[in-house]
Structure 1
Amino acid sequence: MMKIFKVLAVLSIVFLSGCSLLEGVNSSLQYANDAKDYINQASTFAEELPALAEEAVNNEEARTELEQSLNNMKEEINTFKESDAPEIAEDAHNQLVSYSESLESGIDSALKQIENGEWNLKLLEDTEIVKTVSEMKSILDQIEQLGS
């Protein structure tokens, strides 16, 4: 009877360890997918931004659309910064948060310029939004390795 209890105890420990490991893998996969989605959203934002900004120089409706696009990206940034990364992804996450803070700062600067009526294409270049997103994309390989 004692052997049965020992076997059940060992099996329970193995099962619980396996569940924990599986949860860790699922957490890593979910984080990798979320981070890739975030980087892809930021990339799309950066690709569309120059044309939208150019149109916004002389078009009030485009300026409103640009302002909305900037605010939407700020929301995405804040959502991502609040996400929890699994231990295995902490370095990549911290880099992404740092780039996200730079991106948010550039967006804040652009929004302030629009609000003050100072908008022109040179101001967009000064915010370095597109460069920051390009740097974020460099982390994508690290993130994709979590998902494989």
Structure 2
Amino acid sequence: MKKIAIVFVTTILFLGGCSFLEDVNSTLNYVDEAREYASEASDFANEAPTLAKQAINDEQALNKFESRLEEMKKDIQEFNKLEAPKVGAELHQNIVDRNEKALNTIDQFLKNIEDGNLDPSMVENTEAFQTLTEINDVIDQINQLNE
């Protein structure tokens, strides 16, 4: 009877340890995904205003800008679908909220491009891309989950 109890307790402890390891792996994977996304968002935020200004008078630049907008929109949507670990759920939601603002801006740009109406005043509004830059602040907090 003692042997069965010892095996039972050992099994429970082992399974609990596996769950803990899964949580750790999930957190590490999420942190890696978040870092990669932050890098992409930052790159986009830095290059988008210049591309947008060039796109006003240059058809080739317009096509490139439209492609970058579509790529970033896809990246945002994919990131928003990630399942955050429990310890990072609030931070993930913070990024998702900022992403929604960025998506609205991207959708407005895409609509203006489709309508042949890229508005120079909207291009001048670099705050439109500031949201994506701010994501790095949240990613720094997510990186602390890795420690």
Secondary structure class of the residue paired with 1:85: coil
Count of residues paired in the alignment: 147
Displaced runs of 4 or more, over 6 A: none
- The whole-number CA distance in structure 2 between the counterparts of 1:45 and 1:121 is 19
* Equivalent residues of 2:91, 2:142 under 8 A apart: yes
Quick one: structure 1 residues 47 and 127, their matched pair in 2 at CA, closer, same or farther if it must change by over 3 Å?
Answer: closer
Q: Deviations over 1:85-120 (max 9, x none)?
A: 111100000000000000000000111111222224
1:62-73 matches, cutoff 5 A: 62-73=61-72
- The whole-number CA distance in structure 1 between the counterparts of 2:103 and 2:73 is 6
Identify the residue that residue 32 of structure 1 maps to in structure 2. 31
- Give TM-score scaled by structure 2 length: 0.94
Secondary structure class of the residue paired with 1:117: coil
- The whole-number CA distance in structure 1 between the counterparts of 2:106 and 2:83 is 23
Matched, 1:132 2:112: no
1:111-126 matches, cutoff 5 A: 111-126=110-125
The aligned amino acid for 1:134 is T
What is the CA-CA distance between 1:50 and the residue it aligns to? 1.7
What is the CA-CA distance between 1:121 and the residue it aligns to? 3.8
1:36-115 matches, cutoff 5 A: 36-115=35-114
* Equivalent residues of 1:54, 1:121 under 8 A apart: yes
State percent identity of aligned pairs.
Answer: 39
The aligned amino acid for 1:72 is E
Aligned residues: CA RMSD: 1.3
- The whole-number CA distance in structure 2 between the counterparts of 1:98 and 1:127 is 19
- Give TM-score scaled by structure 1 length: 0.93
Unmatched 5+ stretches in structure 1: none
- The whole-number CA distance in structure 2 between the counterparts of 1:17 and 1:59 is 60
The aligned amino acid for 2:87 is I
What is the CA-CA distance between 1:55 and the residue it aligns to? 1.5
